[in-house]
Structure 1
Amino acid sequence: MSGPKDGHPSPGDGATGRATLTAVRPSPRPPAPEPPRRPGVARWAADLAMGARFAVNGGRESWARTIMTAVGVGLGVTLLLFAASVPSMDSGRNERTNAIAAFGFGEEPKPGPGTIRLAQANTDYGDKDIQGMVMAPDGDRPPHPPGISGVPAAGEMWVSPALKTLLASDEGKLLRERLPYRTVGVIGDSGLSGPAELRYYAGITQKQFDHVISDYRIDRWGAQDTSGDDLDPALVLLVVVGCVVLLLPVLIFIATAARFGGERRDRRLAALRLVGADTHMTRRIAAGESLFGSVLGLAVGAALFLLLREAVGGGSMMNLSFFTSDITPTLPLALAIAVTVPASAVVVTLIALRAVTIEPLGVVRNATPKRRRLWWRLLLPVLGIGLLLPLAGGFGAGSSGGDLQTYQAAAGAVLLLIGLTALLPWLVEAVVERFGKGPVPWQLATRRLQLSSGTAARAVSGITVAVAGAIALQMLFASVEAQNTEETGQDPNRAQLILNAKVDNGAQANDAFARLRATKGVGSVLGITLDTVSDARSKKKDPADIPTDSLTVADCPALREVARITSCRDGDVFVINGSDSYVAPEDAFVKPGAQINLSVRDDGLPSPDKKKLWTVPGSATKVRPREDPTGATSSGILATPGAFDIADLPDPQAQAMIRLDPKVPDATEYVRNASASIGPALDVIQLSGTSQSSEFQTIRNVLFIGATATLLLIGASMIVTTLEQLRDRKRLLSVLVAFGTRRTTLSWSILWQTAVPVVLGLALSIAGGLALGTLLLKMVGEGLAVDWAGLAMMTGIGAGVIVLVTLASLPPLWRMMRPEGLRTE
């Protein structure tokens, strides 16, 4: 019998007769090689690149989210690029302004072949400022202004392109009468501060300069750069806070745009977990999708910037205009934008996904979320207040630490405003969780807010920061405006216009007054003629040391405007009381019976050798001066035409106080045209009770332009955000309609869902804005002063933007409620 087969033991094997099993050990298998570990940077790059590919190849839904993100980021990038262009815009404008400056300060050069005689001939036309200059060369090599090829001959002028267009239009009909010169050329860009500047250079004869009150000579054009002059600390603070208020909502919106489509994207990421991706890899892939959208947004923003740059480059707003070549972002700021925007998209996405659990079978988002912590949200505004409080009453004091104080103020304002943004989601969550019963639209809205209040809070965070900053800026603006507004002492109720003219004799003065009285729109003209007289008995040889005073000749109504006269008739003479005279008491010589010298030299100083005497009548009445409509007071001798012939004045100057007919709308323009016929460089002074510094006016105009752009961005961004949220809930809306929910119910629910965060955001912005405004007022040494009208206006604007955005979102909302939204693939 054969033995056991197949390796099975025989029953008799072994000492005990038991069956035994022989264990056969398998040969050891070599361990599987571990995949090479990629370095951290390479792993990040690969995962981000994979996310970017998903954004491109993920179908229509991925492209919809990517386009939404690109449009949102692109709007913000456009405004950031304009903000980054401000330094180059300011630099280019200052360089050209300094190049075309012709200052007559310092020692004036003597007439020669290389000098030119100038006089300012600026004028106003409606609300437009026109910069003009008349000139006459002294020799054959005069310097010419930048932008023109030579000095204009007498009767000719060079004009800027904008002025040429104005003169050729129907609007410039009255202005053509004021500039009686033949246009021979157009000023180039190098001779203009901006493309919309209204400027002209006109040539006149040397004889015509005899009728110019103030002229001077130069031998070169240009002035030393004064752009670095220190601003008032309050104006610096206004600029700093303005930049923070205008740019912070832009940055917040860019961060919000990076989270568009978050809910649908998170559900798609579950598929990646199913095929083996871990949590960290999944988050990096999601960040890659946002990164691609933000990079595409950079391209969109750059394209919009280039398009708007061409439009802005030729336009003008509030007397500010810039050439297209000026609107160029500085390289460091442009690089910062190019790096920060994509990086912020990655960081925001990673932070947002920390609150989401992505599992292979789905996204755990509908579970009860953790309550938002309050302590770190309060820490941000507290730190901001901590930075601002030490500056109270000492901002800008002294030169030391000026830049540090500026950075500290900017950082404090940023932290305080960002703190409001951080507090808003907590506030919305804390309030909506207490909402209960109510109508169906209210329940739908509140339930949605309770499930995802963060999305609604992010939608209004930009407007919250903008309104809070605007309230604070309005409070500071009112204070700075008061500091930079001065009382001029002028009284526009007594006379609206003043004209000063240099005339050769009394006949020319009377002729000038007659022309003005015959001008259309003039109600009355009070004309005075005055000249400088000196002490005839002075023994001083130096003309500069001889005491001088003024002699004013006018009729009684005009004299009553410059002195307190009770009784006056033609032939009377008055003397300003010595204590009210500008002449020092020891040099006072004007009194009844005194002899005065009417002769002057060619340089306007008294002539001690050649004398033309006149004796003040002993019957002259002493009177006290009165401020004239310009706020100035007169001194010396006041004489009526019957007592002194103005033909005896050797170097007279005529002044006309003009009252207008309010029924004639263009009366001021008619008077300005009449002044051009009297002298080539005369202009009319329009009286005003107050005046503001030019620096404040420029800053105010720039802030207004920036605020307008930011408000438009906020409105556009909120429309994009609302459309993205509606698109994300398209299927849910269609399901509700399919189950019989009325469209009006859903429309009201969307309105309530928007209104609740808006109301809470506006309440938070009012509190934060008042706090920031109070701190800013303390920094400039001002007490608390709330502009309640401005606060109401800012709040109303913020609420109005929300209402308009909600109305704009209703048509797409109705389209998304169609049953076609239930289709799926």
Structure 2
Amino acid sequence: MIGFGVRLAVAGGREAAVRLVVTAAAVALGVGLLLATLAGINAVNAQNARYAWLNSASPEATAGVPPSPDPLWATLGYERYEGRTITRVDVAATGPRSPVPPGIPRPPGPGEYYASPALTALLRTAPPDRLGDRYPGRRIGTIGPAALPSPDSLYVIAGASAAELSRAPGAAKVTAIATRTPSSCSSCNVGTNANGIDLILSVTAAALLFPVLIFIGTVTRLVATRREQRFAAMRLVGATPRQISLVAAVESSVAAVAGTAGGFGLFFLLRTRLTALPLTGERFYAADLSLNPLQIALAAVGVPIGAMIAARLALRRVRISPLGVSRRVTPRPPRAYRLIPLVAGVAELAYFVGRRPDTTNGQIWAYLTGIFLMMGGLVVAGPWLTMAGSRVVARYARRPATLIAGRRLADDPKAGYRAVSGLVLALFVTSTAVGVINTMVAEEGLPESDAAARGTLVAEYSHGWTRTPGVPRASVSVSDQVLARLRSIPGVRGVMLIHTNPLGTTLSLGGPRPMVAGLMSCRELAGVPHFGRCAAGADVASVPPDYVFDSERLPGTDWPAAALSSSRARRLPVQTVVVGTDGSASAVERARTVLTAAFPHREPAATVGEMRANTDTARLLRGYERLADVVIVVSLCIAGCALAASVVGGLNERKRPFSLLRLTGVRLSTLGRAVVLESAVPLLANAVVATGAGFLAAGLFLRSQLDYPLHPPGIGFTATVVAGLAVSLGVIAATLPLLRRITGPETARNE
């Protein structure tokens, strides 16, 4: 029987070949998406592991690693160049056995540095006064991939003397190189929250695989009627139910095995291109997108086994009675209890609002369970919603096509919903993804900066403003040479120095405690008008610590006068340097380079716009936005394919009644309108529920996981949904030419 099943699968004529190819293609798509998602989770964790060494100053991160007898002094800072972040690590070895960062053979000495391949290429093309002058000395090598999260990472490891670096603000004595990933280290400040991204990818996998499963089921049903009739005939000539089940399982397994192989081929073919999808904000190395043996076995063995089980379940009517395949009766109408799974999913997600699980695995199971319940609930509740819509249509029908469509939907709402189920789930996935991403963008940053904020450079050297008067603060001494170099840069309009305040003057902007203000010259302030203006007649003004974040008030603010002359203020240490430019990249980067070279091992200068934005958050949000786009596009494409397959399958199953209707005088155009309405009514009835359920799921997830209220999307989402529905109706209309070919008089005669 196994050989007979294989023969039916591959040598059963044109129909068998089409069935095999279409089913294998559906399985290949599903397996490819599954492998891509699993590889994406592995890539996130592999990339995150290469951030570990940057947390070597944390005792928790180096726990269990033998300490070196010669410590390594190190500082970690982040510079910027034309919107890109450069990670700078300054190191100073204290002996021959000092720890060595990964990716380099030895720590660099004073006047030496290593650069990553991407930064090396950038240094070759960028003018030295805009970038290269920040790293005096000579490059002695390239940082290897072991220390770089991404091929695009801009990293530099610069050498210094131990005496110099030990006095730098924020310098740490490193005795071992950390290998513990940031996800498992509570005190690690550098790296990606891979646990959170794993959660997002797990939800994404569910969001993508559900439409794929619907697609596979739809393709299987495309020829279900013909297969059932063939198996029923085999039963009537003496085949046992076990033999029929074995033949069906073998026939389905052939397509599943071929599709699984195709899925692996699709994944490895596109793996290089998948590296360009920066889920974490940075693209992956190709080797990061790998699969472990368990994942390979799960896909290679689990998918064919699942296909065999599905085949056995699909033949339950043949096992009960072979004549039942031909003697079909009107199924019972769906009941309202079909809404229970959908309601249960909502209740499950609502339960965890205020009760978020502590562990990432607990959160994954909690939210995946709710999402799966809601998606399954939409599938279960769809026929009931379709029946309700069909009864409304039939009640108010005024034309034959409307009456035919309404009555046929009411007679078999399951079949009507089955045609649009993939698209309904795609709308649920889309609304959920858009709701989550839109809210995260609104709550967590990506602020828009005005031109003045983008062109105003701030170098903060106080290492944190103090709240206590009289407590000394970190500061620098700005020489006349440095000021002259800054003012000579084309595009620089003014340079302002903010000095430490010996008067102990405090300013409060509504915080819990006043903070010690800085002092600035009103004459210098005139060259940086974005920072407001002095009170009338003032020579020196006081400025609060968080002035750079007050984007709305700054330009029109009158800063209070300080009881100090400008000549005395100029002799005070400097805690902040502010450079006003015309906003050009050349002026900003040249001024940044001057400040970096003049004050090494200090906090790098940044524009007001860069300081307002959380760089890591912005990077992750951009990755999530790209992920949402992928989910939306892939879900809609899969749903469109499933819709086309469903409509074609429905036409094939109903070609005899449609042929009889044409013989009785019904016009082909009337049948075409009836076919469109049979898909449009369940689509529109369920689309409203699916979209609302998607936003509800997003709102409950956001409230539970992040304590954010849902921010509804703008007009763009509505336009996307309307366009998607219009395209879906176009897909249905594209199948109508088939109606003429399959409803001729010969069909009624041959059937």
Q: The TM-score by the shorter chain falls in which range?
A: 0.7 to 0.9
**Is the 8 Å Cα contact of residues 488 and 631 (structure 1) preserved in structure 2?**
no
Partner Cα separation in structure 1 for residue 725 and residue 185 of structure 2:
42
- CA distance 1:70–1:452, change in 2 (3 Å): farther
Matched, 1:228 2:184: yes
SS at match of 1:132: strand
**Is the 8 Å Cα contact of residues 258 and 345 (structure 1) preserved in structure 2?**
no
Which residue in the other structure is 1:497 paired with? 457
Which aligned pairs between 1:601-612 and structure 2 lie closer than 5 A?
Answer: none
> Residue 313 of structure 1 aligns to which amino acid in structure 2?
T
Superposed displacement of residue 815, structure 1: 8.4
Which residue in the other structure is 1:151 paired with? 107
Partner Cα separation in structure 2 for residue 350 and residue 372 of structure 1:
25
Superposed displacement of residue 418, structure 1: 0.8
**Is the 8 Å Cα contact of residues 655 and 743 (structure 2) preserved in structure 1?**
no
- CA distance 1:94–1:415, change in 2 (3 Å): same
Which residue in the other structure is 1:717 paired with? 638
Which aligned pairs between 1:135-174 and structure 2 lie closer than 5 A?
Answer: 135-168=91-124
SS at match of 1:643: helix
Question: Equivalent of 2:373, from 411, 415, 422?
Answer: 415
> Residue 800 of structure 1 aligns to which amino acid in structure 2?
A
Superposed displacement of residue 92, structure 1: 1.7
**Is the 8 Å Cα contact of residues 117 and 218 (structure 1) preserved in structure 2?**
yes
Which residue in the other structure is 1:383 paired with? 344
Per-residue deviation, residues 199-224 of structure 1 (Å, max 9, x unmatched): 22234567986996554443443254
Which residue in the other structure is 1:769 paired with? 694
Superposed displacement of residue 420, structure 1: 1.0
**Is the 8 Å Cα contact of residues 257 and 721 (structure 1) preserved in structure 2?**
yes
Per-residue deviation, residues 563-607 of structure 1 (Å, max 9, x unmatched): 9865434xx8xxxxxxxxxxxxxxxxxxxxxxxxxxxxxxxxxxx
Partner Cα separation in structure 1 for residue 224 and residue 127 of structure 2:
55
Which residue in the other structure is 1:319 paired with? 281
SS at match of 1:710: helix
Partner Cα separation in structure 2 for residue 640 and residue 483 of structure 1:
43
Matched, 1:520 2:490: yes
> Residue 641 of structure 2 aligns to which amino acid in structure 1?
V
Which residue in the other structure is 2:468 paired with? none
- CA distance 1:658–1:265, change in 2 (3 Å): farther
**Is the 8 Å Cα contact of residues 383 and 417 (structure 2) preserved in structure 1?**
yes
> Residue 370 of structure 1 aligns to which amino acid in structure 2?
P
Partner Cα separation in structure 2 for residue 52 and residue 450 of structure 1:
39
**Which range moves more in the overlay, 283-292 or 552-561?**
552-561
SS at match of 2:184: coil
Which residue in the other structure is 1:672 paired with? 592
Question: Equivalent of 1:393, from 349, 354, 376?
Answer: 354
SS at match of 2:254: helix
SS at match of 2:577: strand
- CA distance 1:484–1:247, change in 2 (3 Å): farther
Which aligned pairs between 1:563-642 and structure 2 lie closer than 5 A?
Answer: 567-569=537-539, 626-627=544-545, 629-630=547-548, 639-642=564-567
Which aligned pairs between 1:353-392 and structure 2 lie closer than 5 A?
Answer: 353-354=315-316, 363-364=325-326, 367-392=328-353
Per-residue deviation, residues 28-51 of structure 1 (Å, max 9, x unmatched): xxxxxxxxxxxxxxxxxx56x643
> Residue 768 of structure 1 aligns to which amino acid in structure 2?
A
SS at match of 1:134: strand
**Is the 8 Å Cα contact of residues 71 and 297 (structure 1) preserved in structure 2?**
yes
Per-residue deviation, residues 113-145 of structure 1 (Å, max 9, x unmatched): 944443334222333222222344444554332
Which aligned pairs between 1:60-139 and structure 2 lie closer than 5 A?
Answer: 60-103=14-57, 114-139=70-95
Q: What CA RMSD, in Å, does the superposition of the two structures yield over aligned residues?
A: 5.3
Per-residue deviation, residues 437-456 of structure 1 (Å, max 9, x unmatched): 56687678667756765455
Partner Cα separation in structure 2 for residue 126 and residue 438 of structure 1:
65
Partner Cα separation in structure 2 for residue 246 and residue 730 of structure 1:
28
- For structure 2, list consecutive stretches of 5 or more residues without a partner in the other structure: 63-67, 187-192, 463-473, 505-515
> Residue 427 of structure 1 aligns to which amino acid in structure 2?
L
Per-residue deviation, residues 303-348 of structure 1 (Å, max 9, x unmatched): 1111222322366466222222222234444444445433443444
- CA distance 1:349–1:438, change in 2 (3 Å): farther
Partner Cα separation in structure 1 for residue 475 and residue 689 of structure 2:
69
**Is the 8 Å Cα contact of residues 433 and 628 (structure 2) preserved in structure 1?**
no
Partner Cα separation in structure 2 for residue 669 and residue 816 of structure 1:
66
Question: Equivalent of 2:723, from 800, 804, 807?
Answer: 800
> Residue 146 of structure 2 aligns to which amino acid in structure 1?
S
- CA distance 1:467–1:693, change in 2 (3 Å): farther
Partner Cα separation in structure 1 for residue 520 and residue 725 of structure 2:
66
Partner Cα separation in structure 2 for residue 100 and residue 382 of structure 1:
47
- For structure 1, list consecutive stretches of 5 or more residues without a partner in the other structure: 1-45, 535-548, 573-622
SS at match of 1:227: helix
Partner Cα separation in structure 2 for residue 778 and residue 713 of structure 1:
27
Which residue in the other structure is 2:508 paired with? none
> Residue 410 of structure 1 aligns to which amino acid in structure 2?
L
**Is the 8 Å Cα contact of residues 405 and 677 (structure 2) preserved in structure 1?**
yes
Q: Which has the higher helix share?
A: 2
Which aligned pairs between 1:365-514 and structure 2 lie closer than 5 A?
Answer: 367-396=328-357, 407-432=365-390, 435-436=393-394, 454-472=414-432, 474-475=434-435, 496-500=456-460, 508-514=478-484
Superposed displacement of residue 98, structure 1: 0.7
Superposed displacement of residue 695, structure 1: 7.8
Which aligned pairs between 1:689-768 and structure 2 lie closer than 5 A?
Answer: 700-701=621-622, 703-725=624-646, 728=649, 729=651, 752-768=677-693
Partner Cα separation in structure 2 for residue 690 and residue 156 of structure 1:
30
Which aligned pairs between 1:251-262 and structure 2 lie closer than 5 A?
Answer: 251-262=213-224
- CA distance 1:82–1:198, change in 2 (3 Å): same
SS at match of 1:122: strand
> Residue 119 of structure 2 aligns to which amino acid in structure 1?
L
Partner Cα separation in structure 2 for residue 264 and residue 533 of structure 1:
92
Partner Cα separation in structure 2 for residue 297 and residue 749 of structure 1:
35
Superposed displacement of residue 293, structure 1: 1.9
Matched, 1:643 2:568: yes
- CA distance 1:262–1:203, change in 2 (3 Å): same
Superposed displacement of residue 370, structure 1: 0.6
SS at match of 1:120: strand
Partner Cα separation in structure 2 for residue 270 and residue 431 of structure 1:
35
Partner Cα separation in structure 1 for residue 163 and residue 226 of structure 2:
82
Larger Rg: 1
Which residue in the other structure is 1:37 paired with? none
Per-residue deviation, residues 703-755 of structure 1 (Å, max 9, x unmatched): 44443333333233234334544665579889989999999888766654543
**Is the 8 Å Cα contact of residues 413 and 772 (structure 1) preserved in structure 2?**
yes
> Residue 196 of structure 1 aligns to which amino acid in structure 2?
D
**Is the 8 Å Cα contact of residues 655 and 742 (structure 2) preserved in structure 1?**
no
**Is the 8 Å Cα contact of residues 554 and 639 (structure 1) preserved in structure 2?**
no
Q: TM-score, normalised by structure 1?
A: 0.69
**Which range moves more in the overlay, 130-139 or 739-748?**
739-748
**Is the 8 Å Cα contact of residues 426 and 639 (structure 2) preserved in structure 1?**
no
Q: TM-score, normalised by structure 2?
A: 0.75
Superposed displacement of residue 498, structure 1: 0.4
Which residue in the other structure is 1:56 paired with? 10
> Residue 658 of structure 1 aligns to which amino acid in structure 2?
V
**Is the 8 Å Cα contact of residues 269 and 358 (structure 1) preserved in structure 2?**
no
- CA distance 1:307–1:488, change in 2 (3 Å): closer
> Residue 419 of structure 1 aligns to which amino acid in structure 2?
G
Matched, 1:308 2:270: yes
